[in-house]
Amino acid sequence: MTKPIVFMFSGQGSQYYQMGRELFENHSRFKIWMKHCDAIVEPMLGRSLIDIIYQDGRSKMEPFDELRYTNPAILCFEYCLTKILMESKIEPDYLLGYSFGELTSLVVSGAISLQDGLRFSIDIAELIQADSQQAGMLAIIDSTAIIDEYPHVFESCWLTAKNFNNSFVVGGLESDIVELHEFLNDRKIVNQLLPVKYGFHTKLMEPLKPKIIELFNGINCSSGRIPMLSSLKPNKQVSITAEHIWQVFRYPVDFSGTLNFLLQYEDYIFIDVGPSGTLATFVKYICNQEGDSQYLEVINQFGRDLDSLNKLKNSLLVAA
């Protein structure tokens, strides 16, 4: 029996300048879909998103963190990768969003239109930029036990995501995150500042609840054609409401909990349709070695996009 396929969509922090440039320059269908998205979003932004992502002189290492651009960039990019996979007859049985990646799930499933998804991504970015405090997010490669080990440096931060046993994310005000970053560096604990400037998944989002719910309630939303899973909490399928979307922005991500819940029932083929391949890495560390699930990425930050895409297709042919 063929294992069910799960398309996984990453959120804020997975984006970078030049993401997928090799595909854009050499894969005609990807370029067509990116131009299609750009034609929709350019009037909303007042400039071309393609120019923003692929502008010359910008390095992959340079922070790409202006929310008004990164939100629609992530959505467009993941949507276009999805389209070229589906045109290659790689069809998902489930869609799994990680934080903001749930918006991509909504669009891909057909629950909301691409145009509404892009409009919402920009509206919510402008709302957060105008009404939310500057903050930061820090990815940490260690057990969450260190929160109890060093309570004095974690007390001003919040746990925002559990990725796998030795990987989690915290958020907080910018000064507190910088202090924690320096403290962990001094103790040789691996950590990375994420290109995110706002307090997603923390109490800093609380004042925005009424406006976020109002924004989403203005969108025409259906149940969608493809079942959607959520990293917010373990569940076989998500019921999409404005309250759920608010919770996606407000409460911690539990990616490891969702994966462990799914793996109780059967094996899957997990495909990371984000730009960085991080979700495939998370799945790698979560999957039980005795299981038979696969974890694949479409592309990653290290280039050779066409090779990565062809490798994924070949892996699926072998699996079939």
Give the C-alpha separation, 196 to 313, whole Å: 32
pLDDT cut 70: percent of the chain above it: 97
pLDDT classification of 319: cutoffs 50, 70, 90: low
From residue 95, alpha-carbon distances to 78, 80, 132, 293 in Å are 12, 15, 29, 16
For 198-220, write each residue's pLDDT tens digit.
Answer: 999 999 999 999 999 999 999 99
For 89-99, write each residue's pLDDT tens digit.
Answer: 999 999 999 99
Of 10, 14, 99, 230, the active-site residue reads: 99
Taking 90 as the threshold, does the pLDDT of residue 21 lie above it?
A: yes
Q: What is the pLDDT of residue 290?
A: 64
Taking 60 as the threshold, does the pLDDT of residue 320 lie above it?
A: no
Q: What is the pLDDT of residue 301?
A: 87
128: its two tokens: 């957060």
pLDDT cut 90: percent of the chain above it: 83
Q: What is the pLDDT of residue 289?
A: 61
For 262-291, write each residue's pLDDT tens digit.
Answer: 998 899 999 999 999 999 999 999 987 667
pLDDT classification of 147: cutoffs 50, 70, 90: very high
Domains of the chain and CATH, by start: 5-130+201-319 (3.40.366.10), 135-193 (3.30.70.250)
Q: Does residue 99 have an active-site annotation?
A: yes
